[in-house]
Amino acid sequence: MIKIYHNPRCSKSRNGLEIIKESGKNFEIVSYLENTPSKEELKQLLNLLNINAESLIRKNEAVWKENFKGKDLTEEQLIEAMVKFPKLIERPIVTNGKKAVIGRPPEKISEII
């Protein structure tokens, strides 16, 4: 099952959702700002994406600059920051079985659907 971690206010996320809809395949939308992934879910996503936590963080967000920028944080602390402040999570993330991509650019989503 295809799953998109979606923020409807983000144009890249909306474009990614359109790509999935156009595929005609079944999918699930996770509104991650309301239904924040747990630490375990984030660890699974990082594993599927084959990246570290820092690579999943949106560093231009005010909450990052105000609370975390310039600090030497562990992987665990970065994951905890994303759970506490889900706005920090890069978007959209799309999973399909054992594959996942960050949809930037949104066309990358086509690689796994």
Burial of 9 per CB tally in 10 Å (0-12, 13-18, 19+):
exposed
DSSP letter assigned to residue 89: B
- In angstroms, rounded to a whole number, what is the distance separating the alpha carbons of residues 113 and 110? 5
* Catalytic position from the list 10, 51, 83, 112: 10
Residue 10 a catalytic site member: yes
* Residues that are catalytic: 10
